[in-house]
Structure 1
Amino acid sequence: MAYVIAEPCVDVKDKACVDECPVDCIYEGQRTLYINPNECVDCGACEPVCPTEAIFYEDDLPEDWTWYKDAAVSFFAEVGDLGGATAAGPIGHDEPRVVALPADINA
């Protein structure tokens, strides 16, 4: 895995990154977006277009947000590798730690 979407995306989901991703590996959960670590080609195109600065190279994640890397792995372990976010559409749920976040986390 190279890129991770962290807390600033929760309940925002701007999706500028989705439009920029050349391999369609950014999936939509209920409260946040997730980058599939098995489909990402590490191009970094998503990072500079994110208006909330929620996307980090995994080694650059702020310490309080390192769990988002594991959350993405857990999310895709459950839903599988779907071969493209556009065809899959919104997934309809989130990783349990994301679900547990306060509703007003980015209000």
Structure 2
Amino acid sequence: MTYVIAQPCVDVMDRSCIEECPVDCIYEGGRMLYIQPDECVDCGACEPVCPVEAIYYEDDLPQQWSDYTRVNAEFFTGLGSPGGAAKTGPLAVDHPVVAALPPQPA
């Protein structure tokens, strides 16, 4: 199991979670942040600092955002497990589900 970033993060990307993550497993896409599931150590440090409550333990993810477990994992197809977001920097791409969303209100 791992933590998952869901739809409330789209077009917000506050980045407080990045600062709290001790293993640097939260990567920046074009419109939202993504947790690399193989690098996440399930510490939960990111969850309480998210101002829009977009981060959930996988088992606690609300039903309306259940696809975001897959979205977070598939974001890393081709990228793999780089071993830390600082190595990659911001990525100008998003998962197709996120890219297809209309602009989200701030």
TM-score when normalising by structure 2 = 0.96
Matched ranges for 1:1-107 at <5 A: 1-103=1-103, 105-107=104-106
- Percent identity between matched residues is 62
- Structure 1: give runs of 5+ residues left out of the alignment: none
How many residues of Structure 1 are paired with residues of Structure 2 in the alignment?
106
- Structure 2: give runs of 5+ residues left out of the alignment: none
Quick check: which one's helix share is greater? 1
Alpha-carbon offset, residue 78 of structure 1:
2.6
Q: Do 1:75 and 1:94's aligned partners in 2 also have CA atoms closer than 8 Å? A: yes
Alpha-carbon offset, residue 41 of structure 1:
0.4
Q: List 4+ stretches of structure 1 deviating above 2 A.
A: none
RMSD of the alignment, in Å? 0.9
